[in-house]
Amino acid sequence: MAYTVPKLTDYTAAALESAANECIGACKSEAAAVHNDAELKSFRDRWMARKNGILTQINDQWLKGAPRDAKREAGIRVNELKARITEHVESAQIADHDNASEERVDITLPGVRRAMGAEHPIIKTSHEIVAVFQKLGYSVAEGPVVETDYYNFEALNFPPNHPARDTQDTLFIANQQSKAQRERLLLRTHTSPVQIRTMEKMRPPIRIVIPGTVHRNDPPDASHSPMFHQIEGLAVDTNITFGDLKGTLDHAMKSLFGSSVKTHFRPSFFPFTEPSAELYVTCFICGGSGKREGGAPCRPCKQTGWIEVLGCGMVDPNVFEFVKDNGYDPKKVSGFAFGMGVDRLAMLKYGVDDLQLFFQGDVRFLEQFG
Amino acid sequence: MKPLLAVGFWLLAKSQWPRANSVLMKLSPNWIRDFVDLSVDDHRLAEDLTNVGLGVEGVNGTGADTTWEMEIGTNRPDAMNHYGVAREAAAIYEKQLSALSCQLSPKPSSDTTFPITVEEPSLCPRFSGLVIRNTRIKPSPEKIAHRLQLLDQRPISNAVDATNYVLWEIGKPTHVFDMDLLEGGRIVVRKARAGETLKTLDGVERKLTTEDLVVCDAKKPVGLAGVMGGYDTMITDKTRNIVIESAWWDPGIVRKMSRRHALHTDASHRFERGADFESCPLSCNLVAKMILDSGGGELVGDVVDAVSKKIDQAPVLLHMSEVQRILGGSLDAGHVYRLLKRLGFELVPEGQGSSQKDQQFWVHIPSWRLDVEREIDVIEEIARLHGYDKFQNTLPAYSGAVVALPHAGMQATLRRRALALGYNEGVSLTFISHADAEKFSAPGARVLELENPLSEEASVMRTSLVPGMIDMLAYNLNRDVAEARLFEIAGVYELANGERVEPRRACLGVTAAAVRAALPKGSVLDVSKGDQSAAAEAFRGFKGDVESLLATFSGDLSYDRQVAEYLHPGRSVRALLNGAPVAQFGQLHPDVAAARKLRQDVFVAELDLEQLYRLGPRRVELAPPAKYPAVERDFSFVFSDEVSFGQMQAAISATGIRELQNKDTRPVEIFRGGSIAAGKYSILLRVRFQSAERTLREDEIAKWSAKIVSVLTELGGVQRA
């Protein structure tokens, strides 16, 4: 039976006390029975509403009905009561949700996901590689994609008519016949020209890393594209050794592929480095064993346990000769350079078996990298 | 990086820096073992050779018939043969390499020796010749034929096979002529004369130029020097008398001729890179011996050896200090001496270097190593044979600082915002067609055409990212992917005032379905029925995305309708920041979309990043959160279609009410049709008043509201009840 404000006839202290206690008791038990926001609101309204709330009724009935001589005492009492009730009402909380466990949603329904874009896997891989070298003190440099013969070949120690130029399958810009050979424009076949461009602008010591787009005259197929991406690195100082080249790249490979990978350097030939090397890392697919789980042969590393990741070497003194006037006397400074194909590393990293997937813009492919 | 399942990429070319300055060739380990006695098995031998730079990339066959696919740097012609590889193996294992001597006992010449005249001594410093008489041409012995077949060489006859065998054995190209077909009984090396022709062994009649160097008899060219012999003087079944030629040709002239005649042969390949000068007489003798052994006959006279200039490498002074400076580590002089000796270099100490570091050697280069010319080349030889992996890994000290590219931060922010808006990053090809170049280039932009394009579709460098973006969107639509959102940040390529420039652009592309799907439910403004209102809503959705990107940069944004023709004239816009054009965007022109057979409307935006980077990143300008409550009032008007929301906003702004900022006027609902007359629309505007200093009073709000009603009415609006 819900509490209603009783009419007071007896204004003795004891009677007032008893009426007050009854009221507080009712308030407390009602407060305890509040189960949700709606109930809390109606509970508050019932007790506190200015129009006809219980406190208002008490005020109206008990005070106004009090005999003259009891008015003062009743006033004090009622005020006390109001404070206590107010306190109870204010502190009333939604009681333990006995039936909350029945308020169930189907948690297997799919979440509403807002579309989020994914960074392109080649750009992402490029950023990761650049970040590793930035932490080693390398600054990012850039250079033009449409390059002159001079920067792409000549200053990198590819003399005119040298056989090493044949292997580059260069795409040339049309209508260049009237220019001297070194001025003729072509699409750079590697990011290496930026080595020269940077050394022309900055005196040693330098440490740069050069991400960029390069082109070769290769028709597109699963493993070739006329456009692809490289990252080039160059460090020149008065004290750079072949051991530094090895140590730097060993550190970088461990940062990229995990601290357990091993590196292996093999002699190679590039016109602009000497000595030149190819860097291999233990295959990150099979862990270097040459075999997949279950004993199947590991194909990415051709079962050798090693994957070639980049070309590198000590900067050839002939290259320094082209920028000698800017502080690059090959007798005084030495340096190393390295270059890697980003697309291929991204293919290895994500297990992409067709290079063309990178350039089609198929969102079903791209969104998986988010 | 985490290991992932992966198949298929073993097809990939090797590392692409600067891919493959090397050639692949088949060699036989068994043949290599003819010249050096090795205790290691083939597997180990392959690994050790690979580690000194002669890469064994593949293995075919088994046992004695095993062949290796070897990758040999273009700088190492000396190793493109079996003896050369054996020489490296001997150096690796410190074994004795068999000497290649060939003792023949020629019959003293009865006739005068075969005369050789070299008119171009600088291009042919050595020409060795040897004559065999009364021999028989027949098939090669089984062993010879088999070895050649293993290397995919087709046996032809004992004489021809002998030259081929010697080529693969010691790397020296030689040639055999039928002596009886050489007119005038002599050989002349000279430049070809204008109008001369030569039918080469491949049966092709070649027109010669005066730039060609030819081997001739008394009357006519009989061979293209260092490239290919002549057809008319070749060995046939009838041949009885043979002239063997082994010359040293200038690499440059061989290369030029090989290119001019598009004739790349095993011979030209080696001469271009430098053959062993000293092996001319030896190779003559080796070929002669094989012919005599199989076909009989007699040798007439010794090798005729016309040497006009000796080609050898000047000795190189090697400083131990330089070895240390380049390689690091602690190789001592004794070790360096022994390593180089093993490779055939002769070392003579120079001066009285007291300490290890000061020591110097004169290094004499063996005749087969034309690639070694400088001290650094010698240092590479030391490192190579010592083993790269034996050098200690070190990290260099550095005193410089890391500098970021000036636009790197803005580009990162732009990319992050595009990704957050749900756009996937695409990378499109850098080439476009002539037709697209015309359609999408900015007025006045000159395109860069390719001299040797892969196809007409890829014949010029892109002047806009839009064609590539449309291709990518079409790729998705054609595969029933209706919702595609893509962006790309990249360069375009143009000629400006004759100079090439590569301005950076950003491009957004999105299908109409994707725009609609991304519109929040509560954002609908135009509630009229029909395509036009749907298009208006989609345009607004895309505009919001572009604005979110432009908010990366500082400047006041404004719009006009000056856009390229590839955009829909009614549903596109040009954006300006501080009055400078920075972007154009909107729905693709229906004609362009139709030409590409797009299955859906698409929206594209092109942002001029050069201009935006100049404006710089937007700086945060903080305004304190309001302390006093704002009051909103709605105004419902009917306007003619000619009046834009922007005009209403401007009119309200012009009232100068301080408690009202420009962005505090916004449209809430737009409606056409129904009771609204054609050519008119109803618009519900919501205006928000706020003061930073006080709570607003009813009477002032009423006054401002009346003012707003009055300016909107002046603008031609009719207030709705």
Each residue of B53-67: pLDDT tens digit?
A: 999 988 999 889 999
Q: So what's the pLDDT on residue B20?
A: 47
Contact: A237, B396; criterion CB under 8 Å: yes
Query: What integer pLDDT is reported at residue B228 of this predicted model?
Result: 95
Give residue-wise pLDDT tens across range B115-169.
Answer: 889 999 999 999 999 999 999 999 999 999 999 999 999 999 999 999 999 999 9
Q: What pLDDT, on the 0 to 100 scale, is given for residue B2? A: 31
CA distance A69 to chain B (A): 48
What ranges in chain A are assigned the alpha helix state H? 13-32, 37-48, 54-58, 64, 71-91, 121-135, 149-152, 193-201, 242-257, 317-321, 342-350, 363-366
Closest-CA distance, B571 to chain A, in angstroms, reads 25
- Determine the longest span between alpha carbons in chain B, in angstroms: 134
Q: Considering only CB atoms, which chain A residues are within 8 Å of B376?
A: 274, 314, 316-317
Give yes or no for residue B13 having a pLDDT over 50.
no
pTM of the complete model: 0.84
Contacts of A334 in chain B (CB under 8 A): 325-326
State the distance between the two ends of chain A, measured CA to CA, in whole angstroms: 61
Backbone angles phi, psi at B469, to 5 degrees: -65, -45
Q: What whole-number percentage of chain B has pLDDT above 70?
A: 95
Which pLDDT tens digit goes with each residue over B637-688?
999 999 999 999 999 999 999 999 777 899 999 999 989 999 999 999 999 9
Contact between B383 and A230 using a beta-carbon 8 Å cutoff: no
Rounded (10°) angle between helices A121-135 and A342-350: 110
Contact B430 A227 (CB under 8 A): yes
Is residue B15 over pLDDT 60? no
Q: Which two tokens stand for residue B498?
A: 């004759």
> Measured between CA atoms, how close is B422 to chain A, in angstroms?
4
What gap in Å lies between CA A135 and CA B135, rounded to an integer?
A: 73
Write out pLDDT tens, residues B453-510.
999 999 999 999 999 999 999 999 999 999 999 999 999 999 988 889 999 999 999 9
pLDDT, mean of residues B182-186: 89
CB contact under 8 A, B380 and A274: yes
pLDDT at A12: 83
Partners of A347 on chain B (C-beta within 8 Å) are: 6, 9, 12
Residue B101 has pLDDT above 80, yes or no: no
Length of chain B equals 721
pLDDT above 60 for B5: no
For residue A335, what is the nearest residue in chain B, using CA coordinates?
Answer: B326
Q: What is the pLDDT of residue B19?
A: 43
Question: If you average pLDDT over every residue of chain B, what do you get?
Answer: 91
Q: Which of residues 192-251 of A touch B (CB under 8 A)?
A: 192, 205-207, 213-217, 219-220, 222-228, 230, 232, 235, 237, 239-244, 246-248, 250-251
Among A167, A242, A319, A349, most B C-beta atoms within 10 A, so best to mutate, is A242
A122 HSE (CA, 13 A, CB side): 26
Round to whole Å and give the CA distance between B46 and B36.
Answer: 15
The residue among A72, A66, A68 whose CA lies nearest residue A19 is A66
Q: Which residues of chain A have pLDDT under 70?
A: 1, 95-98, 163-164, 166-168
Instruction: Please check whether residue A259 touches B, CB under 8 A.
Output: no
In the three-class reduction of DSSP (H, G, I as helix; E, B as strand; rest coil), residue B673 is classed as coil
Q: Which of A117, A224, A334 sits opposite B325 (nearest CB)?
A: A334
Report which of residues A270 and B23 the model is more confident about: A270
Q: Does the structure show a pLDDT above 90 at B26?
A: yes
A193 backbone dihedrals φ, ψ, rounded to 5°: -55, -30
What six digits make up the tokens of B622?
């903080």
Examine the predicted complex and report whether its ipTM is higher than 0.90.
Answer: no
Mean pLDDT of B80-85: 96
Q: Can you tell me the distance from the alpha carbon of B364 to that of B378, in angstroms, rounded to the nearest whole number?
A: 10
- Dihedral Cα B243, B246, B251, B257, nearest 10 deg: 20
pLDDT of res. B360: 93
